[in-house]
Structure 1
Amino acid sequence: MAQELSIIKIGGNIIENRTELVAFLRLFASLKDPKILVHGGGKLATQLATKLGIESKLVGGRRITDAQTLEVITMVYAGLTNKNIVAKLQANGCDAIGLSGVDGNAIQAHKRPVKDIDYGFAGDVDGVNSPLVSTLLERGLTPVFCAMTHDGKGQLLNTNADTIASELAIGLSGIYSTTLFYCFEKKGVLMDINKEDSVITHIDSKKYQQLLNDDIIAEGMLPKLTNCFHALKKNVGKVCIGHPSMLTTKDEIFTTITL
């Protein structure tokens, strides 16, 4: 039986809230190995862009990445956010290594073709360097990936962090039994965004279509759930969405995604 591997993506307000982030990283460090952390940082990037007079544009929960925006997100994602997370994990006894898709050619991508919308320097993943990531895990290191990839020709690309997590889970599913966790400040996918206790505990393909038709699923949750179903169709064992407490508390309420 294949060894279990947890791929955990952290985002939402937890990244921006110092107290929440410190608590999460302490919890993450305590989880058994092997594990991988993937982080976003979109709100911090938006804040910095605003300070620099650069307008941020999002369509359907995905960022439009022009040349100036690419510079900002590289600074925030691969620099400030990634290294702060790695430093805090080291302080909690977790031997972490900060990575982007560029490092070790870990995640290859291509610039998203222009169709109805020009997303600029946004990257769609082509593949994961599973042997590299597996080698790091085998040596007791915990990879911490930011949401940056490259095209192999010298061009950096902004790639949705949910997609990074999904593709890592898919890429490593041939070596490990992979479980994908999307953690943020809510308890799960909510039926009513204004009611914290309205968690939808189970979503399958049929339920997902119904939620779309009723406009329950929107904005940033759209790409997240798209990645959930994509991962399940590509041999990922389990996908969950909810508060980080779901990682350690058996009776915690969260959302489980199935086909």
Structure 2
Amino acid sequence: MAEALYVIKVGGNVIDNPALLDRFLADFAQVKGHKVLIHGGGKIATRIGDKLGIESKYVDGRRITDAATIDVVTMVYGGLVNKQVVAKLQSLQCNAIGLTGADANIIPAVKRPVKTIDYGFVGDVEPSKLNVAPLKAMLEAGLTPVFAPLTHDGNSQILNTNADTIASSLATALSAHYTVRLIYCFEKRGVLRDANDDNAVINLIDREIYQQLLADGVLSDGILPKLENAFSAIESGVNEVLIGHANDVLPNTTGAVAGTLIR
């Protein structure tokens, strides 16, 4: 049987809250075996952009990444946030290495084509072109890769790319070599039947249950992309996907399920 690998994405309010992030990283550092971390950092990028006089623009909750904004997110995601996370993990005896999709050509992407909306320098991952050989070599060498949500187009252009999608894409590509559990960590305890009730966790969702939840109008808009990424990953070879609270990352890497398991 293939070795276990945990591909873990942390985002939401956890990245923006130093106390929550410190707790999460302390737990993440204790996760045994092979692991990969993917982080966001949108609110920090917005704050830094504001200080620089660069206004953040959104359409339907998605950031428009113009020429000024791609510079900001590259600095914030690939520099400030990524290196702070790596330095913290090093202090916890977790030998982390900070990466973007451009490093070792691991995640090539294409600039999102303009349809009704021009999202600017936003990258769509091409799963068939992921280059995980260098990533596998890092894992086998005992390193813990930490990815910022940035990719590249092969022609020197950095692209802003959804961190959930990067996590799903990496988990899928690595499932050819490992038994992968993809874990999305955020500030909620899982997928909730009632968005206002943190205790209303749906413990298990399969495609049939998912379709019923959609028909019943139970799911909030914010969770839908995570679920679509989850099912896409499972249908492409990932063993399991789990959506849960950042504080539960340790039990969720030791065989338990604290949150919502997607199968």
The verdict on a shared fold, with TM-score over 0.5 as the criterion, is: yes
> Secondary structure of 1:230's match?
helix
What amino acid maps onto 2:18 in structure 1? R
For the pair 1:134 / 2:139, whether they are aligned, the reply is no
| CA–CA separation in structure 2 for the residues paired with 1:63 and 1:215 | 26
> Secondary structure of 2:189's match?
coil
Per the alignment, residue 224 of structure 1 pairs with 226
Q: Is residue 201–residue 254 contact of structure 1 (8 Å, CA) maintained in 2?
A: yes
Length, aligned pairs only:
258
Q: Is residue 185–residue 249 contact of structure 2 (8 Å, CA) maintained in 1?
A: no
Change (3 A) 1:15 1:137: same
| CA–CA separation in structure 1 for the residues paired with 2:77 and 2:5 | 24
How does 1:102-251 map onto structure 2 within 5 Å? Answer: 102-126=102-126, 127-249=129-251
Alpha-carbon displacement from aligned partner over 1:180-224 (angstroms, at most 9, x marks no partner): 000011100112221111111122223323333444434432322
Q: Is residue 30–residue 250 contact of structure 2 (8 Å, CA) maintained in 1?
A: no
Question: What is the aligned counterpart of 1:257 among 239, 259, 262?
Answer: 262
> Secondary structure of 1:195's match?
coil
What amino acid maps onto 2:205 in structure 1? I
Q: Is residue 15–residue 21 contact of structure 1 (8 Å, CA) maintained in 2?
A: yes
Per the alignment, residue 78 of structure 2 pairs with 78
Q: Is residue 28–residue 250 contact of structure 2 (8 Å, CA) maintained in 1?
A: no
The normalised TM-score by structure 1 is 0.94
Q: Is residue 195–residue 220 contact of structure 2 (8 Å, CA) maintained in 1?
A: no
| CA–CA separation in structure 2 for the residues paired with 1:111 and 1:139 | 33
| CA–CA separation in structure 2 for the residues paired with 1:216 and 1:51 | 39
Q: RMSD of the alignment, in Å?
A: 1.6
Per the alignment, residue 20 of structure 1 pairs with 20
Alpha-carbon displacement from aligned partner over 1:44-70 (angstroms, at most 9, x marks no partner): 112222333333233444322111111
Q: Is residue 60–residue 218 contact of structure 1 (8 Å, CA) maintained in 2?
A: no
Misfit runs of 4+, over 4 Å: none
Q: Is residue 60–residue 222 contact of structure 1 (8 Å, CA) maintained in 2?
A: no
> Secondary structure of 2:170's match?
helix
| CA–CA separation in structure 2 for the residues paired with 1:233 and 1:223 | 15
> Secondary structure of 1:81's match?
helix
Q: Is residue 5–residue 35 contact of structure 2 (8 Å, CA) maintained in 1?
A: yes
Task: Select between 114-123 and 12-21 the one with higher mean Cα deviation.
Answer: 114-123
The normalised TM-score by structure 2 is 0.92
What amino acid maps onto 2:82 in structure 1? N
Alpha-carbon displacement from aligned partner over 1:7-31 (angstroms, at most 9, x marks no partner): 0000111111111111111100101
Per the alignment, residue 98 of structure 1 pairs with 98
Could you list the runs of 5+ residues in structure 1 that have no partner in the other structure?
none
Q: Is residue 7–residue 181 contact of structure 2 (8 Å, CA) maintained in 1?
A: yes
